[in-house]
Amino acid sequence: MPYQSIKFIQTGSLAVGGRLLAEDQRSVQSGAQRSNSLTLGHRACQGCGEALGARIALDACQRATGGKTIAVNATGCLEVFSTPYPETSWQLPWLHSLFGNAPAVAAGVAAALRAKSRDDVRVVGQGGDGGTVDIGFACLSGMFERNDDVLYICYDNEAYMNTGVQRSGATPYAARTATTEPVGPEPGNKFGQGKNVPMIAMAHEIPYVATATVSDLRDLEYKVERAMEFRGARYLHVLVPCPLGWGSAPESTIEVARLATQTGLFPVFEAEDGEVVSATPIRHRTGVRDYLRIQRRYAHLFKPAERTEMIDRIQRGADRNITRFGLLPADDIDAELATVGAGRAEEITS
Amino acid sequence: MNKPFAITLEVGSSRANQTGSWRTERPVYVDSLPPCNHACPAGENIQQWLYQGEDGSYENAWRQIMADNPFPAIMGRVCYRPCETACNRAQLDEAVGINSVERFLGDEALRQGWTMPVEAPPSGRRVLVVGCGPSGLSAAYQLTRLGHAVTIRDAGAAPGGMMRYGIPKYRLPRDVLDAEVQRIVDMGVTLELNTTVKDIQSLLRDGGAGEPDAGKNAGKDADGKFDAVFVAVGAHIGRRAYIPAGDSARILDAVSMLRDMEGEEPPLLGRRVAVYGGGNTAMDAARTARRLGASEAIVVYRRTRERMPAHDIEVKEALEEGVTMRWLSTITHADGGKLQIEKMALDETGFPQPTGEFTELEADCLVLALGQDADLSLLEGVSGVEFTDGVVQVSPELMTGYPGIFAGGDMVPGERTVTVGIGHGKKAARCIDAWLRSDHYTREPKHDLAPFGNLNTWYYEDAPATVRPQLDAARRTTSFDEVVGGLDASNALFEARRCLSCGNCFECDNCYGVCPDNAVIKLGVGERYQIDLNYCKGCGICVHECPSGSIKMVPEEA
Ligand SMILES: Cc1ncc(C[n+]2csc(CCOP(=O)(O)OP(=O)(O)O)c2C)c(N)n1
Ligand code: SF4
Ligand SMILES: [Mg+2]
């Protein structure tokens, strides 16, 4: 576990907070004093994963920097739903320029701060998957290559959602979008692997790369706070389900993200200087069908007849992640559980 | 206007945009009835006392138990735990060890000497409780807390009823029983032992619920009479079945045998003891026989193990102690150290039918554990009191047909366990209290049940139950030491924290943390949360991610 896991206290570190936890074991989001970087009244859809992910990430960053964060946003839902002129939902200094240049603008802000010797103020660049893996990709790679002092966060909802769910370079195999229709011999998105930007970022050997989801709020907070301990280019890739674009129920946003991790489809890990240093193990391994079935973007895999081969291919991808990142601990979980009873009880009281 | 180029409006906040208007459903916090509470015959609020125990507030937790049940240390030993059978956690790994936590809290109270205050002002009313068993003591305790002056009369030499004369020492050490009874006596209950009550009507004041005594005689034994009576004399008459027997057959009944264990001389049983019956009393008799030196204790029962009324734990512990079982067997004759046994077979309705096949069983003594009958002599002949199937008929408020005479415990219809008796005692006390005020006791409506399906179990840590230490089998058959040990503080805490808090908010902050619209307001420790309806869009994530199922979506009115 990358972040401090709290030994058995009913919900331990799995829930957001809890009265049984000591002050320093509580998440930023559990605090009545959290900064709410993205405040009330934003126009994100019901159950928006991106709005949730952005608040969690930026609140954690604000805590890590003592409230001295400047955010630079690419064009996309996050920008549009938060700032219909002249209103803003942002409770921190926030800039928006273009769809494709957020990493470059963020690098520029970092350069300006350096020129002013303000090393106390930190910069976060952020955008959707389209703005990051496609149109902003050259700027992002440049930012990595120059090792600019920016934490760049990609909120990945696996398509261009703001303009009506078009396919992006991050859209997974077989998913339906407005531009990858569920018809033909290979319905949905044809392409197999998309761009794995966390791995590409690692290839730049920048100080810190991590992935996270909105289903593990504490892990997301931890990754942001850890990232802020480094100087130079850092990259955080956060999976944020989109009820509208994925055809999932608004109340299931976190559930969908959780299943993405528990199937192995979205590996949660962190890497330093290009090497993976930890991966979050799967707690309850789940087959990909359970994940696919609750999203209408995959409905054509089950109707009119099940497309077993396509589903199997998705399952193989998940299995590959599990081996590649070691998502299932080798030692038998049952054996560990058998010894906990009295032993663990001692830990909780000490 | 002094604004930068191309800027025409002042910067505003999105707070102006009240997204609550998008909503078609709203989340509402609810308290539901946890299955453990629902199953508890004594009406304990188990979820609540486990919650209090979770942060180490043992005294508060104990007081929460005491609101419903004055015997946590006893019940933490002898209760058959319907709560654990119902516990939702059983569907996850294993049921919460509710009973062992209760015992820990009960023992802790005895160690610390915690007592219960009587806060109600004296009512000026006198209530007589006949029978000093669990039901009578529970009623006396609750009536005292309500301000009434209570006298208990019992024909026995020591208090406790079946807790003393029916439950063997190895399950309930007598110092524990004595201490929990003494705590009730110390609250001001008058205990009159070796006293047989007769002519109950003459003990009641005329007119039943009239005005309370005024002035200096309030609540005093002015005329030796009472405003109400609660009769709970139990069912301690061992049922005899007709078994043709020769002169030299030694046959006794289990109730008397267990009662004799409290006397000077333990009963003489011999080396081979047969016990006839399949209930808990049969198990107690067989296990006691082993401890008295019987090398063989054989339970003879006419049906199968699955159909045995004895509780699983008792059967298991009996088998561990070397008690043997003869299923599908009836005793047709007894004489000279030999029993004649007829094999039975279950018919399609599950009823045992004789097969005409006989065997013999050597036994020095036969103990009959074929059920118990209520002692109804006290109420026989009281006008208006009715009996059916050997038990007293009572109204839903536990009153007999005679105004002012209430009855409960084993002598009224219902399951016969100590826990049920305690529940009757509590209920009778509340009904008597209402009746004395010329009122009716009405219980608050119960919440909806909290089913397992409403929980989001992802959020609970994996944690199998803590096993209580057990006395090893060799010592168990040679002594009357307590078989099952208690948990220590750290284990009890661990066990309490396994509770899922079904259907009741335990302030985990999930709803507050997962709302994409910041529409959950945290009200502070103990105050829970509130939904900001000006901004809640009604996505329902908080409901889905609530571990304990304490939020539900309800449609907005059109
Ligand atoms: C250069 C340019 N091309 C196209 C657009 C139109 N546009 C605005 S947002 C957007 C999609 C954003 O997708 P993504 O980056 O994945 O963010 P999301 O809305 O999914 O969060 C597009 C195509 C634009 N603003 N600028
Ligand atoms: S988990 Fe707790 S609240 Fe739920 S049934 Fe078991 S003891 Fe009761
Ligand atoms: Mg996108």
* Residue partners of B544: CB distance under 8 A and separation at least 6: A251, A252, A254, A255, B456
Shortest Cα–Cα distance, B222 to chain A (Å): 54
B19 and chain A in contact, CB less than 8 A: yes
One domain for residues B387 and B313: no
B351 and chain A in contact, CB less than 8 A: no
* A49 to B489: CB separation less than 8 angstroms, yes or no: no
CATH of domain A21-297: 3.40.50.970
* Residue B119 included in any domain: no
Shortest CA distance to B238 belongs to which of B321, B162, B314? B162
Shortest Cα–Cα distance, B102 to chain A (Å): 17
Ligand 1 touching residue A77 (CB < 6 A): yes
One domain for residues B274 and B215: no
Tell me the pTM: 0.89
* A16 to B514: CB separation less than 8 angstroms, yes or no: yes
How far, in Å, is the centroid of ligand 1 from the Cα of A251?
A: 25
Ligand 1 touching residue A219 (CB < 6 A): no
Query: Got the DSSP string for A2-60?
Result: -SPPPPSSTTTTTSS--TTS-GGGS-GGG-TT---SB-TT--PPTT-HHHHHHHHHHHH
* B466 to A29: CB separation less than 8 angstroms, yes or no: no
Alpha carbon distance, N-terminus to C-terminus of chain B? 45
Under 8 Å between Cβ of A211 and A269:
yes
CB atoms within 5 A of ion ligand 3 belong to A 128-129, 157, 161
One domain for residues B304 and B229: no
* A10 to B506: CB separation less than 8 angstroms, yes or no: yes
* B538 to A46: CB separation less than 8 angstroms, yes or no: yes
* Residue B73 included in any domain: yes
Ligand 1 touching residue A248 (CB < 6 A): no
* Residue B141 included in any domain: yes
Nearest CA in chain B to A50: B516
Residue B251: which CATH number? Answer: 3.50.50.60
Cα–Cα distance list, A118 to A152, A174, A231, B19, B84 (Å): 19, 47, 13, 38, 61
Nearest CA in chain A to B456: A255
* Residue partners of A332: CB distance under 8 A and separation at least 6: none
Domain endpoint, select from B372, B387, B408: B372
| Best of B32, B45, B46, B49 for a ligand 2 pocket test (most atoms within 8 Å of beta carbon) | B46
* Residue B1 included in any domain: no
* Residue B341 included in any domain: yes
Q: Which residue has the tokens 């005899």?
A: B240
Host domain of residue B519: 17-31+505-555
Length of chain A equals: 350
In B78-137, the residues whose Cβ lies within 8 Å of chain A are: none
* Residue B5 included in any domain: no
Nearest CA in chain A to B507: A18
Shortest Cα–Cα distance, B512 to chain A (Å): 7
* A39 to B518: CB separation less than 8 angstroms, yes or no: yes
* Residue B8 included in any domain: no
User: For strand A94-96 and strand A150-156, is the pairing parallel, antiparallel, or unpaired?
Assistant: unpaired
* Residue B449 included in any domain: no
One domain for residues B102 and B152: no
Domain boundaries, chain A: 21-297
CB-facing half-sphere around the CA of B472: CA atoms within 13 A: 1
Here the ipTM equals 0.92
Report how far residue B68's alpha carbon sits from residue B116's, in angstroms, rounded to the nearest whole number: 12
One domain for residues B281 and B358: yes
pLDDT per residue, tens digit, chain B (558 aa), is 577 787 788 889 999 999 999 999 999 999 999 999 999 999 999 999 999 999 889 999 999 999 999 999 999 999 999 999 999 999 998 999 999 999 999 999 999 999 999 999 999 999 999 999 999 999 999 999 999 999 999 999 999 999 999 999 999 999 999 999 999 999 999 999 999 999 899 999 865 444 554 444 445 555 789 999 999 999 989 888 788 888 778 899 999 999 999 988 888 899 999 999 999 999 999 999 999 999 999 999 999 999 999 999 899 999 999 999 999 999 999 987 899 999 999 999 889 999 999 999 999 999 999 999 998 999 998 999 999 989 999 999 999 999 999 999 999 988 899 999 999 999 999 999 999 998 888 888 899 999 999 999 999 988 777 777 777 777 777 788 888 888 888 888 888 999 999 999 999 999 999 999 999 999 998 999 999 999 999 999 999 999 999 999 999 987
Nearest CA in chain B to A221: B513
Shortest Cα–Cα distance, B16 to chain A (Å): 7
**Cβ contacts (< 8 Å) between B550 and chain A: which residues?**
none
* B541 to A217: CB separation less than 8 angstroms, yes or no: no
Under 8 Å between Cβ of A64 and A225:
yes
- How many domains does chain B divide into? 4
